[in-house]
């Protein structure tokens, strides 16, 4: 009879863009004793999460949907609810995650670049699109798209087109003003800038997007599918926000507690949202200046398109994943290899978001930069 040894996680710093470091109070909240999802203790926690999610996106009346699942579930929610057979979707492609709507009309940027406003305008004028989607920060390339400019372009050229922002690697590390910028849907996940363990799909829909769903000509066929937040999930979210229990499927109670702990720090902590974004910009500039000083080339072609929550760097000559990531791991740094299928073996990625940059007293940025210097012999 075999037995499995007790799992013990080594104390390492997650410096990869896939999963950010979760603060201690968030981990403790995640270890909260499991509660009934209709208990008097849990209901206000869920309701506050819905309200605080709006605050992070600077929205007054958009509707959050907090559902068990990955960030990719958000794409299923968008396609199942907003798009009907025969309707057109325009996808702005800046990396791996632009393939989520692969069968739609893509406008592709070169690797390391973002789609320009001129290209967007040309595509919108050539054809009527129900939805335009873009990845705010593509985790595969570290490319940051200009969400404000995209919203302005769509409003000017094709005001009926819904704007859908993939914010999985952007929410809480990049500024997103949903109402002011004309963003109709933001989809994200819990494990990156929001500093919560993975497993929570977070989608926020404008009232315009909700009305489009209500006006569908074809019925939603995914009645019991979590990819269909309308009409099953909306009454649940409304009830919890108003302080009453509701049920369609059991929510991830412990993750909601963890999410609440993180959101409380993000929206009500000593560091304001504006200061939080400024801290990410400052840390990003420092990391990018450091790797440039080491003679390393970054993947984004223009610094204006470089994300603030991560840095994508080409390996220097003589280096690859084996003699970069493993030595970093030995120093307690968990970085990530390449993800874009065309160049995945030529570069690596460093995440710097959340508590890692908001609390400089931890020394996380110093540790990462010093470790990179040691690995590449630049000390």
Q: Which positions make up the binding site? A: 349
For residues 194 and 62, give the distance between their C-alpha atoms in angstroms, rounded to a whole number. 18
Q: In what order do the strands lie in the sheet with 185-189?
A: 63-68, 200-205, 185-189, 162-166, 131-135, 89-93, 105-108
Nearest to 292 by CA among 376, 174, 356, 361: 376
Could you tell me how many helices (H) and strands (E) the chain has, helices first? 13, 14
d(CA 131, CA 182): 13
Burial of 22 (0-12, 13-18, 19+ CB in 10 A): buried
- Give 269-277's long-range contacts (Cβ < 8 A, gap of 24+): 271/358, 273/55, 273/56, 273/58, 276/172, 276/358, 277/173, 277/174, 277/175, 277/308
Which H/E stretch holds residue 356?
Answer: helix 355-358
Asked if residue 218 lies in contact with residue 195, where contact means CB atoms within 8 angstroms, the answer is no
Question: From the annotation, which residues make up the binding site for substrate?
Answer: 349
Question: Taking the CB of residue 79, how many other CB atoms lie within 10 A of it?
Answer: 18
H helices of 243-324, in order, are 253-268, 273-293
Q: Which residue has the tokens 């968030």?
A: 26
d(CA 147, CA 174) in angstroms, rounded, equals 10
| Four-CA torsion 209, 215, 218, 223, nearest 10 degrees | 60
Q: How many CB atoms lie within 10 A of CB 210?
A: 20
Cα 70 vs. chain centroid, distance in angstroms?
Answer: 11
- Rounded alpha-carbon distances, angstroms, from residue 22 to 29, 74, 203, 319: 11, 22, 21, 30
User: 17 near 310, Cβ under 8 Å?
Assistant: yes
DSSP string, 103-145: TSEEEEPPTT----HHHHHHHHHHS--SEEEEESEETTTTEEP
């Amino acid at each position: 009879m075999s037995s499995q040894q007790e799992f013990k996680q080594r104390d390492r710093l997650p410096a990869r863009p896939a999963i950010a470091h979760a603060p201690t109070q968030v981990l403790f909240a995640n270890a909260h004793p499991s509660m009934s999802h209709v208990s008097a203790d849990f209901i206000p926690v869920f309701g506050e999460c819905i309200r605080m999610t709006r605050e992070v996106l600077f929205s007054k009346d958009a509707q959050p949907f907090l559902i068990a699942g990955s960030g990719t579930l958000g794409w299923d929610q968008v396609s199942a609810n907003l798009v009907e057979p025969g309707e057109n979707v325009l996808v702005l492609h800046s990396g791996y995650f632009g393939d989520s709507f692969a069968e739609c009309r893509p406008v592709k940027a070169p690797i390391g670049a973002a789609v320009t406003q001129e290209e967007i305008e040309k595509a919108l004028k050539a054809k009527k699109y129900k939805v335009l989607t873009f990845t705010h920060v593509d985790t595969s390339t570290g490319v940051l798209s200009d969400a404000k400019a995209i919203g302005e372009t769509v409003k000017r050229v094709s005001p009926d087109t819904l704007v859908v922002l993939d914010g999985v690697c952007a929410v809480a590390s990049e500024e997103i003003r949903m109402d002011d910028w004309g963003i109709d849907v933001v989809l994200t996940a819990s494990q990156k800038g929001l500093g919560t363990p993975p497993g929570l799909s977070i989608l926020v829909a404008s009232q315009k997007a909700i009305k489009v769903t209500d006006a569908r000509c074809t019925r939603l066929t995914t009645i019991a599918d979590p990819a269909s937040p309308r009409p099953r999930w909306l009454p649940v979210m409304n009830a919890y926000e108003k302080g009453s229990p509701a049920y369609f499927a059991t929510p991830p109670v412990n993750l909601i507690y963890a999410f609440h702990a993180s959101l409380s720090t993000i929206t009500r902590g000593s560091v304001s949202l504006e200061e939080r974004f400024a801290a990410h910009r400052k840390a990003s500039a420092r990391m990018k200046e450091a790797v440039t000083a080491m003679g390393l080339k970054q993947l984004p072609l223009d610094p204006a398109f470089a994300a603030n929550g991560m840095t994508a760097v080409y390996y220097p000559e003589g280096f690859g994943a084996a003699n970069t990531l493993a030595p970093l791991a030995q120093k307690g740094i968990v970085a990530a290899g390449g993800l874009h299928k065309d160049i995945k073996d030529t570069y690596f990625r460093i995440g710097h978001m959340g508590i890692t940059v908001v609390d400089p007293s931890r020394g996380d940025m110093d540790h990462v930069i010093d470790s990179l210097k040691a690995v590449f012999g630049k000390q």
